[in-house]
Chain A
């Protein structure tokens, strides 16, 4: 068995059959990280020692026949999740030395289920970006072509799984930060319904949009990981109380009669023709599997990017105010007075993109501008929600491209924020509405992975995962691995 690109299901079986030990598996990935990651830069920190300790304990459990669902499975975690005693940077100089004194709820749940954390993955600073070029720890390279971006902000998590440096990873998605890098790296990435997974211990970018989720090789793997990340958490008031279904056990046997909405607003001018071709072919696969394609409209989609780039920066301008150099995080040397301490600590600690968004958000909330920006953006958000509510009266799932283009060269869009922001044009509306959405591999465009986005109704991760799983039963796209990585 090739461990490099094995699925969670394969690994669960291999560990239980003692074909491989948790220690061997962990060591295998650590060795690969050592060998391959210098070129990819997908990890910010490696936790070799604690990972091997955990693997030892996992082996003891496995030997006793006391394995939990994820016992011995090595995963990577986006460096936005606090892990007690470990450095948690959010990709920022501001937190480059921050040791978290607590563990994020979803990371804790994964650990409770037996998962082993190999390390923390690189990301756009404070999850702000679509190319992973905004990290204090350097850009991440796409395993499919190191000249290309891996997508962002969960670019390190995507690259690490795509390169076979871990079995799966966690990501966060505020406007597409799981789905877009999953698309660019040929992975399955799921952003659940807002509130499905606790945000406790996950460093906030935009609180009303942030949602954690799994990044995996298959829909089944995503279902398995989601089961062990989701659930009500009293420490997060916005976390949902609805029970978490056993997603991995109800992936179904067919999708006959599934109504798939094809959203016309997702096939717009900026869409790369090669991407569009792959998506159309994927839709044809669905039809051949017995699904019905229904033309739907989400009429307010064109406004989603504008609304998002008011709401998210507004929330981030407040969320990032705590990084003031007073209690933790970067503090400038020899401040002259309080004002100087604030200005230089924040000026030095934050990168350009973060500062830009703090400025935009501060402006949007200012007296005299609040109504024109924040208030109007919230109105659009409500209209976008309405769009989805109406569409889901007629369809079960909405399908379209995840991103308008495949991965693009590093540096290409770095100086053009508008073009960069348009990377999220198809993913943002599901974030604003709070509905679950995922990206699955659906073909290649010029040899690069193309992501098909599937959007579900509130709390309907189940049907979404079924649709993704059935597609993967019929196609091989998700099994492709980067040609250069062995």
Chain B
């Protein structure tokens, strides 16, 4: 959808990311997904009388990792507040969150716009809070069930500035955050399980207007597609109201993907007063400079830096560089292949070509790859040293994949797959071929270069692929030019 002429759109996103800790943010209960209802909720998660929260230190580590990755300021004194509202899946009647002292302040992330230019989206803040449970409506007719397994799952709420100007940018931004969180391994990124959820603050204004228009907040979008659609429908709605001479009221809306519309839940006038106040059950958490420095030191090389390194140091193409750096494990794998092979170009070709297609075919992640990067690297080295040909390499690769062998070298030796580079062994074959195919030989000599492949192929066939194709090439040319 293109934006109607004369209008511009301003979007700010609030992204709720579940941090992948084993236990909850304020209790020791497990965060495992997909368990029987209420089996993962302890007395603290249930909001029983007399229980108290205690903070899971792991969440600070993960939040700081994220903050440092976006160049944000880390609040060394991190405090919790209570956000009060009644809802059946909010057991305590308040959510413990961070209002005035969020752990992460500022920062930015770069996205690629549709015209492939880089754009910076500023991040306002990111704060820690607990997730609510789930209301299961009509789990039996006329009844709503409450499942508190999710209650207390740690969330990092990442709030952007209204720097996003259209749905495509919103999706690009959401994906960039998703990628960063999964790259840092602080969130599993599983959209289907609700690990990442979006609230979009959307407003429109005339092209020449200097201030932002009246915004609506679309709550709880749980996929990139819904995010995109909701922005389309909402901006269309707002523009049509304004073009018809109407006025907008600030409200909170729900997106209905079936009816392709957003519906108002409540307006600013009827908005809940959350009555935030400092959480008296938790002391302020003080993060030492050493704690933050240690996390900084252990921070992995980030995707952008990594892609740049691949391009400048290893001369990979932009597309290879990006592809190999978007997944941390894949990048680490590639780096190791690179170390063992010493050939970036070839390593990139094998990893993004044969290896990824095999992995995709078997629906495996890189972590489950049966070939170790060391062995793939060694195989590439065998090619570069002229020990095996590219063609034989395919066979060796298959053997490595199917675990017939651990080492490319052993396999090549055992099956006598070393390339034949001895000219005296190949020359008689070429002589014989020229004699058997006089017409093709003459045509090739006359300049029909296509026929070179014909002869090379024949030689490779005769040597079962063990001849060095480049050498065969040279020898054929030599023979024909001599005659």
- A and B interact physically: yes
A residues in contact (CB < 8 Å) with B: 81-82, 88, 90, 95, 98, 100-102, 104, 199-204, 206-208, 234-238, 314-315, 317-318, 320-324, 326-328, 338, 342, 362, 365-367, 370, 374
State the CA gap A393–B93 with chains docked (Å).
Answer: 43
Q: Are A199 and B52 in contact (CB under 8 A)?
A: yes
B411 interface residue per 8 A CB criterion:
no
Q: Are B275 and A362 in contact (CB under 8 A)?
A: yes
**Chain A, residue nearest B274 (CB):** A367
- Could you say which of A82, A101, A320, A327 contacts B91, with CB atoms under 8 Å apart? A327
Q: Are A202 and B88 in contact (CB under 8 A)?
A: no
State the CA gap A153–B47 with chains docked (Å).
Answer: 24
Q: Are A207 and B280 in contact (CB under 8 A)?
A: yes
Known: A207-B280, A365-B275. A321 touches B92 (CB 8 A): yes
Q: Are A366 and B50 in contact (CB under 8 A)?
A: no
Q: Are B86 and A236 in contact (CB under 8 A)?
A: no
Chain B positions 269-288 with a Cβ under 8 Å from a chain A Cβ: 273, 275-277, 280-283
Q: Are A200 and B53 in contact (CB under 8 A)?
A: no
State the CA gap A99–B276 with chains docked (Å).
Answer: 31
Q: Are A237 and B50 in contact (CB under 8 A)?
A: no
Chain A nearest CB, measured from B275 CB (Å): 4
| Interface class of chain B by DSSP | loop
**Chain B, residue nearest A95 (CB):** B49
Q: Are A367 and B273 in contact (CB under 8 A)?
A: yes
- Could you say which of B49, B52, B94 contacts A318, with CB atoms under 8 Å apart? B94
Chain A nearest CB, measured from B83 CB (Å): 10
B55 interface residue per 8 A CB criterion:
yes
- Could you say which of B48, B277, B281 contacts A238, with CB atoms under 8 Å apart? B281
Q: Are A208 and B273 in contact (CB under 8 A)?
A: no
Known: A199-B52, A203-B49, A326-B146. A338 touches B43 (CB 8 A): no
State the CA gap A200–B82 with chains docked (Å).
Answer: 19
B39 interface residue per 8 A CB criterion:
no
Which residues of chain B are near A237, meaning CB under 8 Å? 52-55, 281-283
State the CA gap A338–B283 with chains docked (Å).
Answer: 34
Chain B nearest CB, measured from A243 CB (Å): 19
Chain A nearest CB, measured from B268 CB (Å): 12
- Could you say which of B52, B54, B146, B280 contacts A315, with CB atoms under 8 Å apart? B280
Chain B nearest CB, measured from A325 CB (Å): 10
Known: A322-B93, A338-B88. A82 touches B50 (CB 8 A): yes
- Could you say which of A90, A317, A374 contacts B49, with CB atoms under 8 Å apart? A90
> Can you list 20 contacts pairing A with B, beta carbon distance less than 8 Å?
A82-B49, A199-B50, A200-B50, A202-B50, A203-B49, A236-B52, A237-B53, A237-B281, A315-B280, A318-B84, A318-B94, A321-B94, A322-B91, A322-B92, A326-B88, A328-B48, A338-B88, A342-B86, A365-B84, A370-B277
Which residues of chain A are near B49, meaning CB under 8 Å? 82, 88, 90, 95, 98, 100, 203-204, 322-323
- Could you say which of B86, B146, B277 contacts A374, with CB atoms under 8 Å apart? B277
B51 interface residue per 8 A CB criterion:
yes
Q: Are B54 and A234 in contact (CB under 8 A)?
A: yes
**Chain B, residue nearest A102 (CB):** B43
B369 interface residue per 8 A CB criterion:
no
- Could you say which of A100, A322, A367 contacts B47, with CB atoms under 8 Å apart? A322
State the CA gap A320–B49 with chains docked (Å).
Answer: 9
B46 interface residue per 8 A CB criterion:
yes
- Could you say which of A101, A342, A365, A374 contacts B48, with CB atoms under 8 Å apart? A101
Which residues of chain A are near B277, meaning CB under 8 Å? 314-315, 318, 365, 370, 374
Known: A237-B282, A237-B283, A318-B84. A201 touches B93 (CB 8 A): no
How many residues from B make CB contacts under 8 Å with A? 28
Chain B positions 36-77 with a Cβ under 8 Å from a chain A Cβ: 43, 46-55
Q: Are A324 and B50 in contact (CB under 8 A)?
A: no
Chain B positions 298-333 with a Cβ under 8 Å from a chain A Cβ: none
State the CA gap A208–B82 with chains docked (Å).
Answer: 13
Known: A322-B91, A322-B93, A367-B273. A327 touches B47 (CB 8 A): yes
7 additional A-B pairs beyond A88-B50, A90-B49, A237-B281, beta carbons within 8 Å, are A102-B43, A199-B52, A208-B280, A321-B92, A322-B91, A322-B93, A374-B277
Which residues of chain B are near A323, meaning CB under 8 Å? 49
Count A/B pairs, Cβ under 8 Å: 101
Which residues of chain B are near A322, meaning CB under 8 Å? 47-49, 91-93
State the CA gap A175–B82 with chains docked (Å).
Answer: 22
State the CA gap A159–B309 with chains docked (Å).
Answer: 77
State the CA gap A260–B236 with chains docked (Å).
Answer: 75
Chain A nearest CB, measured from B90 CB (Å): 9
State the CA gap A200–B52 with chains docked (Å).
Answer: 6
Most buried by B among A235, A238, A326: A326
Chain A nearest CB, measured from B267 CB (Å): 15
Which residues of chain B are near A202, meaning CB under 8 Å? 50
Q: Are A201 and B92 in contact (CB under 8 A)?
A: no
Which residues of chain B are near A200, meaning CB under 8 Å? 50-52
Chain A nearest CB, measured from B416 CB (Å): 66
Q: Are B50 and A318 in contact (CB under 8 A)?
A: no
**Chain A, residue nearest B87 (CB):** A338
State the CA gap A238–B276 with chains docked (Å).
Answer: 20
Which residues of chain B are near A234, meaning CB under 8 Å? 54
Chain B positions 93-112 with a Cβ under 8 Å from a chain A Cβ: 93-94
State the CA gap A342–B90 with chains docked (Å).
Answer: 13
Known: A238-B281, A366-B273. A100 touches B93 (CB 8 A): no
Chain A nearest CB, measured from B302 CB (Å): 34
State the CA gap A81–B276 with chains docked (Å).
Answer: 28
Q: Are B47 and A101 in contact (CB under 8 A)?
A: no
Which residues of chain B are near A95, meaning CB under 8 Å? 49
**Chain A, residue nearest B85 (CB):** A321
**Chain A, residue nearest B26 (CB):** A237
- Closest 6 pairs between A and B when the two form their complex, measured CB to CB: A321-B93, A365-B275, A207-B280, A208-B280, A322-B47, A201-B50
Chain B nearest CB, measured from A139 CB (Å): 23
Most buried by A among B43, B49, B275: B49
- Could you say which of A82, A204, A315, A327 contacts B46, with CB atoms under 8 Å apart? A327
Which residues of chain B are near A199, meaning CB under 8 Å? 50, 52
State the CA gap A95–B53 with chains docked (Å).
Answer: 21
Chain A nearest CB, measured from B108 CB (Å): 31
Chain A nearest CB, measured from B60 CB (Å): 14
**Chain B, residue nearest A367 (CB):** B273
State the CA gap A57–B11 with chains docked (Å).
Answer: 69
State the CA gap A206–B278 with chains docked (Å).
Answer: 12
State the CA gap A5–B91 with chains docked (Å).
Answer: 45
Which residues of chain A are near B43, meaning CB under 8 Å? 101-102
State the CA gap A204–B44 with chains docked (Å).
Answer: 13
Q: Are B91 and A366 in contact (CB under 8 A)?
A: no
State the CA gap A225–B100 with chains docked (Å).
Answer: 40
**Chain B, residue nearest A198 (CB):** B52
Which residues of chain B are near A328, meaning CB under 8 Å? 48
Known: A338-B88, A374-B277. A318 touches B93 (CB 8 A): yes
State the CA gap A235–B93 with chains docked (Å).
Answer: 21
Q: Are A104 and B93 in contact (CB under 8 A)?
A: no
State the CA gap A367–B92 with chains docked (Å).
Answer: 21
**Chain A, residue nearest B46 (CB):** A327
**Chain B, residue nearest A208 (CB):** B280
Most buried by B among A104, A318, A320: A318
Which residues of chain A are near B282, meaning CB under 8 Å? 237-238
State the CA gap A342–B51 with chains docked (Å).
Answer: 22
Chain A nearest CB, measured from B67 CB (Å): 23
Which residues of chain B are near A314, meaning CB under 8 Å? 277
Which residues of chain B are near A104, meaning CB under 8 Å? 50
Chain B nearest CB, measured from A402 CB (Å): 25
Known: A238-B281, A362-B275. A321 touches B86 (CB 8 A): yes
State the CA gap A102–B48 with chains docked (Å).
Answer: 10
Which residues of chain B are near A327, meaning CB under 8 Å? 46-48, 91, 146
Q: Are B50 and A100 in contact (CB under 8 A)?
A: yes
State the CA gap A408–B299 with chains docked (Å).
Answer: 67
Chain A nearest CB, measured from B52 CB (Å): 5
State the CA gap A207–B53 with chains docked (Å).
Answer: 12
Which residues of chain B are near A235, meaning CB under 8 Å? 52, 54
